[in-house]
Chain A
Amino acid sequence: MSQTPEFIVRWQNQDGGLTEGPLTVLWSLIDSYKVDIFEVSLSRITSDFIQFLRTSQSLSIELTSEFAVMASHLVYLKSKALLPDPGFEEEDYDPPLPRELVDKLLEHKKFQIAGQRLAELDRLTAGMFTRETNQVLDETENWLDVSLVDLISAFNSILEQESSNEAEEQIPIYEGVSQYSVEDKMAYLQNLLEKTGEIHFMDLFENDKPEKKEIVAAFLAVLEVVKIRVCKVIQHAVFGEIKIVKV
């Protein structure tokens, strides 16, 4: 019976999962034997592993079911290896670790080493900083500058609808004076822009069903604010929707 090396198992407490499991313990045992993994005795590692479970109990570390599973697996492998092999009888036959377990251990080790490399990379990149300003290049470019033709046709389509929504004029105003002035519209536009930063085409009109005078005033107001570079008019490449945005 060999001396069980002292180990303590590392836990992962914040995420609630185990960091190290029975495979790590097996590796520690194998390392302590100072022999190649292909020469490790199955009997020895089995008894040492069970010994480890006992030790950990006395250290009052609670182990999960994975450890019990590993222990029973080892005992199972050992018993299988000890079954008499017909035509092969030897008194003190000490079976090595079975292939499947060795493969599993090597695989485990491989990723432990890969994890170490990631850890180095993590340490390195944690100290590499980037700048904090950000000018985003618009990668989508779905909003294109509107040509005057598009703008006119947008207003046109509204005008066509308008013929059916001439409102009842409640206050008779004499001809030539519109109740919608371009100045008022511009103020209205700029006010909206200040608040939201963008205006959808239909929000240009105070009414859902604008009448001709309002449409004309809005059209001229848009031309004005674009001219004085307060905003620009853009159109969605796919949906053809028109928006007025702050410059």
Chain B
Amino acid sequence: MEERNYTKGLLEALLFLSSDPIKLSALAKSCGIEKTEARELLDELILDYQEREGGFLLREIAGGYQFITNQKYSEILSHIFKDKKRETLSRGTLDTLAIIAYKQPITLTELDEIRGVSSRAMVASLMSKKLVKAVGQKEVPGRPTLYGTTNEFLLHFGLSKLTDLPTPVEVKELKFEDFSPESIIVTEETEMNPDFDLDSLPEELKVENANE
């Protein structure tokens, strides 16, 4: 018992010293114990901090363990540390990310199909943020690149593994009232040059009430 508490304290000390998540294997090796024992002790530590309900918690994140401030202080801390606060991602970015996260591995064409708009630029920006990476090529003609999420993605959203993502709601199960219309959306000047000229529409599209 004595020794067990000693090891638990040592794990705690190691975690305290590190700002990055530490992997289970590294923790076990440093303390000279088996992984199963380490996991048991770490789970206990996580619970200890949870029960204490203090300013910070121990979390399992992206396959490692790390101290992180309690989410109940999220609001106030981001106010106090304005300069440290992470920029939140735009809605379009998040929607694209959601599709990639749930549907991975996915090609650009499949992504465009779901979004109804071209996603090339969006994927490029997600890749530059290291949230998305190429994970292979689809075995179809042309061998298009397949995309998936990164470890950085897990870290960003505080997830331990992909399966921790909330299950997407099947819309068919939703009642009509659950849909929230978001019809008014802000517009900004765009840098794109969409060559869309309504006059270039085929004649038939300009005929109103074609069959009424």
- CB of B140 within 8 Å of the partner chain: no
- CB of B27 within 8 Å of the partner chain: yes
B187–A139 touching, CB < 8 Å:
no
Residues of B within 8 A of A65 (CB): 194-196
Chain B interface residue count, Cβ-Cβ cutoff 8 angstroms: 95
Question: Are A12 and B205 also in contact (CB < 8 A) when A28-B183, A110-B168, A128-B74 are?
Answer: no
Residues of A within 8 A of B169 (CB): 110, 113-114
Q: Which of B89, B115, B209 contacts A47 (CB 8 A)?
A: B209
Question: Are A114 and B98 also in contact (CB < 8 A) when A36-B176, A130-B68, A137-B27 are?
Answer: yes
Residues of A within 8 A of B172 (CB): 106
Question: Are A137 and B30 also in contact (CB < 8 A) when A20-B92, A122-B94, A128-B74 are?
Answer: yes
Q: Residue on B with the closest CB to A82?
A: B211
A121 to B154, CA, bound (A): 11
- CB of A203 within 8 Å of the partner chain: no
A75–B25 touching, CB < 8 Å:
no
B190–A11 touching, CB < 8 Å:
yes
- CB of A200 within 8 Å of the partner chain: no
A122–B88 touching, CB < 8 Å:
yes
Residues of B within 8 A of A11 (CB): 187-190, 192
Name B115-169 residues within 8 Å CB distance of A: 115-122, 124-125, 156-158, 166, 168-169
Q: Residue on A with the closest CB to B202?
A: A72
A7–B184 touching, CB < 8 Å:
yes
A124 to B88, CA, bound (A): 10
- CB of B14 within 8 Å of the partner chain: yes
Distance in Å: Cβ of A160 to nearest Cβ of chain B = 37
Residues of A within 8 A of B189 (CB): 11, 13
Distance in Å: Cβ of A242 to nearest Cβ of chain B = 23
B97–A12 touching, CB < 8 Å:
no
Instruction: Return 23 A-B CB contacts under 8 Å, by A number.
Output: A1-B208, A6-B183, A9-B187, A10-B188, A11-B188, A13-B189, A17-B120, A19-B90, A21-B116, A24-B185, A64-B196, A78-B210, A110-B169, A112-B95, A113-B171, A114-B99, A114-B101, A115-B94, A119-B94, A124-B71, A127-B74, A135-B14, A135-B17
B interface residues (Cβ-Cβ under 8 A, vs A)? 14, 16-20, 22-23, 25-27, 29-30, 66-71, 73-78, 81, 84-99, 101-102, 113-122, 124-125, 156-158, 166, 168-172, 176, 179, 181-196, 198, 200-202, 204-206, 208-212
